[in-house]
Structure 1
Amino acid sequence: MSKPSRDAGIRRPTSLRAAAPHAPQGGHPALRNGLALGLSAAMLAPLAAGAQTATPAAASATKKEETQLPEVKARAQVIDPNPNAQTGVPYKARTSGDARHTRPLAETPQTITVITKAAIDESGVTDLRSLLDAQPGITLGTGENGNAFGDRYIIRGQEARSDVFVDGLRDPGMTTRESFAVEQIEIAKGPNSSFAGRGTVGGAVNAITKQATLDYDFKRLSGSVGSDGHLRGSLDVNHIFTDQFAVRANVLSSQEDVPGRAPSDRRRQGLALSALYEFGKDRELTLDYYGLRAHDKLDLGSYLVGTAPNRTPANPVPPAYVQDQDFLDSKVDTLTARVKWRLDDNRLITSLTRFGTTSNGYIVTGARSATAYSGAAGTTDGAYTTASLSTHNAWQDVTYLAHQTNLQWNHQLFGLKNESILGVELSDHHVVKGTYSITNSGAFNCRTTGTATANNAYCIYDASGAVVSGLNRLMGRSYTQGAWATDWQVKTLALSAMNTVDLTDRWTAFGGLRADRFDYDFSVRNATTGAVTDYGYNDTLWNGHLGLTYKLQPGLIVYGSVASAADINGGESDVGTNSGYGGLIINPANNSIDAAPEKSTNFELGTKWDLMDGKLLATAALFQTTKRGVMEGSGYTSSGTANSGKNRVQGVELGLVGALTDKLSGQLGLTVMKSKVLASATAANVGLPLSNFADRSASAQLKYQFTDAAAFGGTVKYESQRCAGQPDTAAGYTSGQCSQPVPSYTTLDLFASYRFNRAVEARVNVLNVTDKDYYLAAYRSGSFLYKGDSRAVRLTVDYKF
């Protein structure tokens, strides 16, 4: 067999990769013309044969009755290497990248939102945090005491910072996550432990990575320039060396000032390599490497002022107070081996093994409202309002090894078609955490207590309200990395079984069951004495998922599902024994670990309607998630708060994704939810809503194809007010009002693109068009108020060769 043409864009089916259910996109003009002529000849052949045998009179009659056929127009489209994409519909995925979802997304009894690569590119944002914040039902959170390790997500009111997966394997540790090597991002809403194991109470995020392909060669170069010193370049190359061997490389280099917050900045360098080799027709091996170096310099944004319940963001927004020595660094390296082995037409084994290391570290500066004094010591003369600076730091080293093998078996049982998946998963996640030893040698410039006899703090504003000079060098830091403080390790063996069965032509049932046997080890080192205390326990988690769908008509289903999830005591690796943030709860009476896993159950009723020949998917779902045995944490103590809480989230989620018309495509979503604390160790919390919970959120990303070459569109995002606080517990209220409010916001982004020819396309993105000051999350005290980016302009040119 000869190698496929690198320009043809034809996907060749193999025994391991089924032929695409749609026509190939793009292709060389000569090839397209040849295909068109071939199809035309085939369609006209019967007519030509009939004409050869017809009598002259009949031929004459036929000629008189000739009719004008309608004009047929063909539009060239860009090759999409994503095997899960819907052809010709840039924002719609047809299938999940997780092969355990054996049916198309339109037939899956669960709310799963997919952000395709086209949607990512045209949004103008590239980091996972910004992409997920734009999705309804997801809010962002802060870390304990300004923990800045990386991205933190809250899905349907439930903590999900450790529920991020890459190709179905958990990506442990909080880190900065980029999209340059991502094909699509899948967000499964609702408890998901039957698929993903511990945690995943509100859902899970799964990034599907770019893989080498034997279908065709391609080369894509993308360059971007813009305001705030924005420079970004990426390269995506797939090359077929033989009929059996292909390599794909993705390279990234980017830098920019944080819009509106310079000298805060972000820098990224990344490399992703994927090599695919086919051993005959039934076996293939893929080896991947992923590396990312993220070097950011950030402050913690704004802060709240005023007295509860009348708290508002500082106005004007404080200047960027990032110190020259500040940093937020992530270093990620992973190696992955994938094996596919088709035993026969009905049985397929897929195996995934990954080893990875991540090093995270940060020293960042926070600010909070303060009163300073310029009068004589012991008096309040000369009191003025300012903002005082604080230091936050930590380092974290993550090492992990994970393996997952699944057997997919299609078979008949009692005359019914079954799609069964049997899986085994082993993982060893190890996280060591510590802090830096920091010296601030800069001279103090203010007094924050009236009794102080000398300056005792660093402040942003002087007595006249002016920003102090040399603000970004004020603290004069130096630092060294300190010894480890906590050593966290979880080893897990999981067994799972899933089955999808067609009960009738209209009824389909899905069931899944998973058992996770884990060993938990946690060591704490006393920073003063060096003494180490070890804790450990083991347990088995059982979780399941049941779904039932009924096909009302082709493309239209209704479904019901119930699913469970479990969070383990001490499941979050980055917070030590801070129990309210997912840290380990220890019984102070005997220094034992007594807390049972938190359990949650989700009920969902929904409908999915695949319209316009599969080009448009409409979804609607009613859901209720109840979480029991919540490990609240009363302040920072653990006594009496093990499994003391219970909460409930109810809501409705609507979605529309795909081609709305021949020219208009988009992804639209709306989530309306209510949360309520049903039980708590603090009686006053019962009946209150959850912290970091937005009742309403909506987004719409739209694209209008004005001509074959020109398009424009944009994204609008709305999120209602939230109340800061620790996860899974009641929001803080004073006099019936939220004590630490994060204001609601609406943002608008716009873009326009033009395709000059088959190879070159340019796009302009304007992010936060109205230059709105908006805030993503707040710490429980209101001291840190994470600020969204100011207006930014980007020009991107894509070149395909």
Structure 2
Amino acid sequence: MNNTSNVLRLRDSGQLCTALGLAVASWSSASLADTSSATKNAQHTSVELEATDVTGKHHETFKVDAMDSPKFTAPLRDTPKSITIINEALIKERGATSLVDVLRTTPGITLGAGEGGTPLGDRPFIRGFEASTDIQIDGLRDLGRMSHETFNVERVEVLKGPSSAYSGRGSTGGTINQVSKKAQAEDFISGSLKLGTDQLRRETIDINQYLPEQDLALRLNAMKHEADTPGRDHVDVSRWGIAPTITWGLSGPTRVTASYYHLESDDTPDQGHPISLVSNKPVKVDRDNFYGLADRDFRKTSADLATLIVEHDFNEVFSLRNTLRGGRSMQNYVMSRPVFANVGQELAGQVPRGFRPRNVVNTSLINQTDLFGTFHTGTIKHSYAAGLEVSRETITDKEKYLGNNGRPGDLQNPNPHDDGWTLTPGSNTVTSKHQTEVKSLYVFDTLGLHEQWDLNLGLRYDDYAIKNRVAGGAESNAELWNYQVGIVFKPLPNGSIYLSYGTSSNPSGENTQSGGADGAGAGNLNGNKANLDPEKSRSLELGTKWDVFNDKLALTAAIFRTEKTNARVTDPISGLVTLNGDQQVTGVELEATGDITDAWAVRAGYTYLDAKVLKAGGDGANDGNRSKFIAPNTFSLWTSYDLDAKWTVGAGANYMDQRYMNDANTVSLDDYWRYDAMLAYKVNKNLDLRLNVLNLADETIYDASHVGLFATVAPGRSAELTAEFRF
């Protein structure tokens, strides 16, 4: 291969470099001003003041300084990669109760939808690439396409850009890691009761007990949630979960943690509104129009995770951690897909209801061992982590429900209680059983070359194998090598400038939960894909990170280019899938997270993505088009302010640019703004009240689509009153 093919084409990013340079200059000036001010103050004659009692409420910060995983061998400020962390304080203030709620307000992320072959569940796209199989819980992959909850989440970490060195296969756009709540060395009982419009009722409990004589801590989190969906008729959600954790040896060199997580849901699936074949946008109908069958449609899910973690600190500079997890998740549903078969149906005001079932069980067994610490070679300090991971993950599809949806629904006045439909349970016969086995080795090292210079290195090897264990099932094997290289310059103690290069690999079978509508690019084993080499992606990123206002506010900026020059596409002559596609994403990202003052907190971000499919395959008609599902501009702002020791006000705004829903760029969803507000009152040290009003303008928002046939509808305006207690 010509070496020049591995060079990222950044010649058209001059304007972005200029913008980044201005950001660096301005933030560096602010930092220098802080330093200069501190120096001047130190030169003044000290004055002894009388002691004064000050009472007030210190705002809980949104800023996080380090990742949870030991693979990240430097503080966040000195890690040469874009990382967004949404902690529990921000999750609570914004009233988020699911992972989708969190991601919906995170710039650079858009959402996709599922149906039958591509299942329902969390389907985020990060920096232009799907990340539904790149969702983790405490650093271990959670392969099942579920709808994740927040009741046991301490924070959500979004690692952006090709990240296979950290996460293994996939991770082209990035990785999402949910960090679970841990047992603590203290006693407390906390919880919440949330009541709201649309029959909302949510209860949570969080109990932690510490036994100092046994050095043993126990923690229990539990949740129950019942609600209708604001702005949607007949669409209700019901779920409950429980998560006990026990840790022995909190203060000793050896710690053993056993935890269990269970989540169960019973919802009404909702595919929103059909796409007009005349306007190529969602049809103009009342937002609350529901085209499903309320007496028949259902979605039942469950997830169980059992985890055992053993940690030992041999000394202050050498530690070992072993994590063993077994998991099982299930998803079973029947739903109605409102899609026009032809223009005549639309003009006649008739909407066929496509029958879409699914019945799948996912199981996993993962063991991950990490060694981490520090050592010196001469004057160079090494902060390192090395590990071994072995996993087996199985996705078992079973015979689904059989049936039909009867007569079409009325476009303007659909009747969710229409009859004429049929439904017959499937036999539970296994139709496919994709088993993935991976053995991985990885090592990371941050070399302190100088007090102002760090070199960050990472390398991972994956022995990857997947097989459909039914008669005649396809299989695929690959050896994956991926790496991360970053150089960090620290002009001042509170800031860094970095340049990094990273890779990712997408082997065949990486995403067997993708249907035929996803086309040649789907990561399944259909057709001749099992015989193809993995797709390869690479990214170059230039960024800067600064902690200002006494390290309370983190400012970040980055420009980047990600390329995949061997993407899967359909050959126009043979009709087979080949690795001749070319995809490219160029972008810029700006973020501010933390405290401006003790009373004023902010979380703001903006992402620009120029996501293109340079070579789309087929007849070439889609070459150069924008990548589907990806918004060029996304913006998010949340800010809250303590008026006094009792009252806090907050407000937020989110912008999502226009998104195309198909490869031809003919079907689109309009851009939108969403506004939220919050008012909180501290009754006493044990009780807080918070009122959230979400989607203040009651905007009709379309979150996503699968392949431009229908558009899912986001919740309308709602009000929620939460009482939080802690003893």
TM-score, normalised relative to structure 2? 0.89
Residue 786 in structure 1 maps to residue 712 in structure 2: yes
Partner of 1:426: 390
* 1:768 aligned partner: 695
Aligned to 2:50: 69
Cα gap change, 1:370 to 1:567, in 2 (>3 Å): closer
Structure 2 match to 1:388: 352
Tell me the distance in 2 between the aligned counterparts of 1:364 and 1:282. 52
Match of 1:665 in 2: 601
Q: Distance in 2 between matches of 1:598 and 1:387?
A: 39
Task: Select which of 630, 635, 642 maps to 2:578.
Answer: 642
Aligned residue for 1:593, secondary structure, equals: helix
Change (3 A) 1:383 1:553: closer
Partner of residue 104, structure 1: 75
2:371 aligns to what? 407
Deviation for aligned residue 1:585: 4.5
| Pick aligned residue for 1:460 from 400, 410, 423 | 410
- The alpha-carbon distance between structure 1 residues 515 and 90, as it changes in their structure 2 partners (threshold 3 A), is same
The verdict on how the C-alpha distance between 1:365 and 1:609 changes in structure 2, with shifts beyond 3 A counting, is same
Instruction: Return the offset for 1:469.
Output: 4.9
Deviations 1:386-442 (A, max 9, x none): 2221111111101100011111131011321111111100110100013423234x7
Matched, 1:742 2:669: yes
Q: Distance in 2 between matches of 1:331 and 1:638?
A: 43
Among residues 462, 477, 480, which one is paired with 1:538 in the alignment?
A: 477
Equivalences for residues 411-490 of structure 1 within 5 A: 411-440=375-404, 444=406, 457-461=407-411, 467=413, 469=415, 471=417, 475=421, 477-490=423-436
Residues 128, 609 of structure 2: 8 Å contact kept: no
* 1:107 CA drift (Å): 1.7
Q: CA deviation at 1:165?
A: 0.5
Query: Could you say which residue in structure 2 is the equivalent of 1:677?
Result: 613
Kept in 1, the 8 Å contact 2:260–2:305? The answer is yes
8 A contact 2:615–2:623 mirrored in 1: yes
After TM superposition, the structure 1 = structure 2 runs for residues 103-502 of structure 1, keeping only pairs within 5 Å, are 103-143=74-114, 147-214=118-185, 216-243=186-213, 244-278=215-249, 281-307=252-278, 311-317=281-287, 319-323=289-293, 324-369=295-340, 384-440=348-404, 444=406, 457-461=407-411, 467=413, 469=415, 471=417, 475=421, 477-502=423-448
SS of alignment partner, residue 472 of structure 2: strand
Compute the displacement of 1:91 (Å).
Answer: 1.1
DSSP-derived class of the 2:165 partner = helix
Aligned-residue offset at 1:480: 3.6
Question: What secondary structure does 1:119 align onto?
Answer: helix
Amino acid paired to 2:688: E
Secondary structure at the aligned position of 2:520 is classed as helix
1:176 aligned counterpart, secondary structure: coil
Letter of the 1:498 counterpart: F
1:508 to 439, 443, 454: 454
Q: What amino acid does structure 2 have at the position aligned with 1:659?
A: D
Identity %: 28
Verify: 1:582 aligned to 2:582, yes or no: no
In the TM superposition, residue 642 of structure 1 has moved relative to its aligned partner by 2.3
Aligned counterparts of 1:586 and 1:175: Cα–Cα separation in 2: 23
Amino acid at match of 1:428: R
Deviations 1:422-464 (A, max 9, x none): 1100110100013423234x7x4xxxxxxxxxxxx32224xxx
Letter in 2 for 1:614: D
Contact 1:222 1:797 in 2 (8 A): yes
- For residues 196 and 68 of structure 1, the distance between their equivalents in structure 2, rounded to whole angstroms, comes to 54
Match of 2:726 in 1: 800
Which structure has the higher relative contact order (CA within 8 Å, separation 6+)?
2
For 2:652 and 2:488, locate their aligned partners in 1 and report how far apart those are by CA, in whole Å. Answer: 32
Give distance in 2, aligned partners of 1:67 and 1:153. Answer: 56
Letter in 2 for 1:284: R
Quick one: which amino acid aligns to residue 255 of structure 1?
A: E
> Could you tell me how far 1:575 is from its partner in structure 2?
2.8
Deviation at 1:342, TM superposition (A): 0.9
Deviation at 1:759, TM superposition (A): 0.2
- The residue number in structure 2 matching 1:41 is none
For 2:720 and 2:437, the matched residues in 1 are separated by 44
CA deviations over 1:207-233 (Å, ceiling 9, x no partner): 00001122x111102001111110000
Q: Please state whether the residue corresponding to 1:580 is helix, strand or coil.
A: helix
How many residue pairs are counted as aligned between the two chains? 678
- Residue aligning to 2:36: none
Q: Does the CA-based 8 Å contact 1:596-1:629 persist in structure 2?
A: no
3-state DSSP of counterpart to 2:654: strand
Q: In the alignment, what sits opposite 1:615?
A: 552
**2: CA distance, partners of 1:784 / 1:400:** 33
Q: Which residue of 2 aligns with 1:735?
A: none
Counterpart amino acid of 2:636?
S
AA partner of residue 487 (structure 2): L
- CA gap 1:709/1:280 in 2 versus in 1, 3 angstroms: closer
Q: CA deviation at 1:745?
A: 0.9
Contact conserved, 2:571 with 2:578, CA < 8 A, in 1?
no
Task: Compute the displacement of 1:234 (Å).
Answer: 0.2
Query: Which amino acid in the other structure matches residue 693 of structure 2?
Result: V
**2:700 corresponds to which letter in structure 1?**
D
- Once the two structures are TM-superposed, the CA of residue 587 in structure 1 deviates from its matched residue by 5.6
The secondary structure found in structure 2 opposite 1:340 is strand
For the 8 Å contact 1:258–1:265, the answer to whether it is kept is: yes
RMSD (Å) for aligned C-alpha atoms: 2.4
Instruction: Give CA deviations for 1:165-192 in whole Å, capped at 9, x if unaligned.
Output: 0111000120110010000000000011
Residue 626 (1) aligns with residue 563 (2): yes
1:704 aligns to what SS in structure 2? strand
**More displaced stretch, 508-517 vs 383-392:** 383-392
Q: Which moved more, 1:169-178 or 1:144-153?
A: 144-153
For the residues of structure 2 that align with 1:67 and 1:594, how far apart are their CA atoms? 77
- CA separation of 1:754/1:318 partners in 2, compared to 1, >3 Å: closer, same or farther? closer
Instruction: Supply the AA of the counterpart residue of 2:200.
Output: H
Tell me the distance in 2 between the aligned counterparts of 1:469 and 1:706.
49
Question: Is 1:777 aligned to residue 723 of structure 2?
Answer: no
The answer to whether the 8 Å contact 1:321/1:471 transfers is no
Q: Distance in 1 between matches of 2:349 and 2:521?
A: 32
Q: How far 1:483 sits from its partner (Å)?
A: 2.0
> For the Cα contact (< 8 Å) 2:507–2:523, is it kept in 1?
no
Superimposed CA distance per residue, residues 538-591 of structure 1 (whole angstroms, 9 cap, x where no aligned partner): 221000001111111120111110000001112112136765352434566xxx
| Other-structure match for 2:34 | none
Q: CA deviation at 1:513?
A: 0.2
User: Which of 584, 591, 596 lines up with 2:533 in the alignment?
Assistant: 596
* Structure 1 unaligned regions, length at least 5: 1-64, 78-87, 374-379, 445-456, 525-531, 726-730, 733-737
Q: Distance in 1 between matches of 2:560 and 2:114?
A: 28
**Larger Rg, first or second structure (1 or 2):** 1
CA distance in 1, matches of 2:52, 2:683: 25
Cα contact 2:273–2:712 (8 A) shared by 1: yes
Aligned to 2:198, the other structure's residue is in SS state: coil
Structure 2: gaps of 5 or more residues: 1-45
Q: Distance in 2 between matches of 1:255 and 1:499?
A: 47
Is the alpha carbon distance of 1:489 and 1:585 closer, same or farther for their aligned partners in structure 2, counting shifts above 3 Å? closer
Kept after mapping to 2: 8 A contact 1:289/1:334: yes
Aligned partner of 1:705 in structure 2 is 642
Give the letter for the 1:684 counterpart: A
Q: Tell me, what secondary structure is at the counterpart of 1:261?
A: coil
Q: Distance in 2 between matches of 1:326 and 1:581?
A: 30
